[in-house]
Structure 1
Amino acid sequence: MNDLTLNPAKPLGIAAVERETGIGKDTLRVWERRYGFPQPERDAAGDRLYPAEQVERLRLIKRLLDAGHRPAQVVSLPFERLDVLTRGAGLLTEASSAAATGALTAEPADSPLVSAYIALIKQHDAERLRRALQQDVMRMGLDRFVTDIVAPLNTGVGQAWMRGTLEVFEEHLYSEVIQRAMRTAISAIPLADAAQSRPRVLMTTVPQEPHVLGLLMAEAMLALEGCRCVQLGAQLPLSDIARAVRAHAADVLVLSFSSLLQPAQVLDAVADLRSRLPQQVELWVGGSNPALRKRLPEGVRVTASLSDLAPAVHDWRERHRSPSTTDLLLPPQSRD
Structure 2
Amino acid sequence: MTYKAMDSNAAPLYPIREVSRLTGVNSVTLRAWERRYGLIRPQRTPKGHRLYGRNDIERVERILQWLNRGVPVSQVRELLDQPETAETPAPQMGDWASQRQHVIQAVEALDTGRLEALFNQSLSLYPVGLCVAELWQPVISQLEERWGGQFGATLQRRVLESFLRTRIGTRIYHANQLNNAETVLVARLPDDSSGFWSLLMGLTASASGYRVQLIDGEVPLSEFPFAVERLGTQALLLASGHAERSDVIRRQLPRLAEQCEAPVCLVGPVARIRAGDLENSAVAVLGEDMSQALSRMRSMIDAGI
Q: 1:162: which partner in 2? A: 148
* TM-score calculated relative to the size of structure 1: 0.55
Match of 1:212 among 155, 177, 195: 195
Q: 1:302: which partner in 2? A: 285
- 1:238-260, Cα deviation, whole Å (9 max, x unpaired): 23211111111222111123435
The answer on whether the counterparts of 1:209 and 1:257 sit within 8 Å (CA) in structure 2 is: yes
Letter in 2 for 1:311: S
- Quote the offset at 1:298 in angstroms: 4.1
The answer on whether the counterparts of 1:258 and 1:287 sit within 8 Å (CA) in structure 2 is: yes
Give distance in 2, aligned partners of 1:298 and 1:159.
31
Q: 2:84: which partner in 1? A: none
The answer on whether the counterparts of 2:225 and 2:259 sit within 8 Å (CA) in structure 1 is: yes
Q: Aligned pair count?
A: 212
Q: 1:97: which partner in 2? A: none
Q: 1:92: which partner in 2? A: none
Identity %: 13
Letter in 2 for 1:221: T
Give distance in 2, aligned partners of 1:295 and 1:144.
28
Superposition pairs of residues 234-273 of structure 1, within 5 angstroms: 234-259=217-242, 261-273=244-256
Superposition pairs of residues 77-92 of structure 1, within 5 angstroms: none
Give distance in 2, aligned partners of 1:151 and 1:277.
29
- Quote the offset at 1:192 in angstroms: 4.5
Match of 2:274, SS state, is helix
- 1:135-177, Cα deviation, whole Å (9 max, x unpaired): 2222224233212221121122223323737632123212322
The answer on whether the counterparts of 1:274 and 1:300 sit within 8 Å (CA) in structure 2 is: yes
The answer on whether the counterparts of 1:189 and 1:223 sit within 8 Å (CA) in structure 2 is: yes
Q: 1:153: which partner in 2? A: 139
Letter in 2 for 1:112: S
Give distance in 2, aligned partners of 1:178 and 1:153.
13
Give distance in 2, aligned partners of 1:292 and 1:240.
24
Q: 2:303: which partner in 1? A: 319
Match of 1:184 among 136, 147, 170: 170
Match of 1:294, SS state, is helix
The answer on whether the counterparts of 1:284 and 1:301 sit within 8 Å (CA) in structure 2 is: yes
Whether 1:126 and 2:109 are equivalent positions in the alignment is no
The structure whose RCO (Cα within 8 Å, separation 6+) is larger is 1
| Structure 2 unaligned residues grouped into runs of 5+ | 1-67, 71-92
| Structure 1 unaligned residues grouped into runs of 5+ | 1-103, 321-336
- Quote the offset at 1:273 in angstroms: 0.7
The answer on whether the counterparts of 1:130 and 1:178 sit within 8 Å (CA) in structure 2 is: no
Match of 1:299, SS state, is coil
Give distance in 1, aligned partners of 2:282 and 2:126.
36
Give distance in 2, aligned partners of 1:105 and 1:306.
18
Whether 1:288 and 2:274 are equivalent positions in the alignment is no
The answer on whether the counterparts of 1:286 and 1:302 sit within 8 Å (CA) in structure 2 is: yes
Superposition pairs of residues 126-145 of structure 1, within 5 angstroms: 126-145=112-131
Letter in 1 for 2:237: V
The structure whose Rg is larger is 1
Letter in 2 for 1:147: A
Give distance in 2, aligned partners of 1:167 and 1:148.
23
Give distance in 1, aligned partners of 2:100 and 2:192.
26
* TM-score calculated relative to the size of structure 2: 0.60
- 1:270-325, Cα deviation, whole Å (9 max, x unpaired): 122123223xx1111123233333234543211112132232243135325xxxxx
- The verdict on how the C-alpha distance between 1:225 and 1:316 changes in structure 2, with shifts beyond 3 A counting, is farther
- Quote the offset at 1:189 in angstroms: 3.1
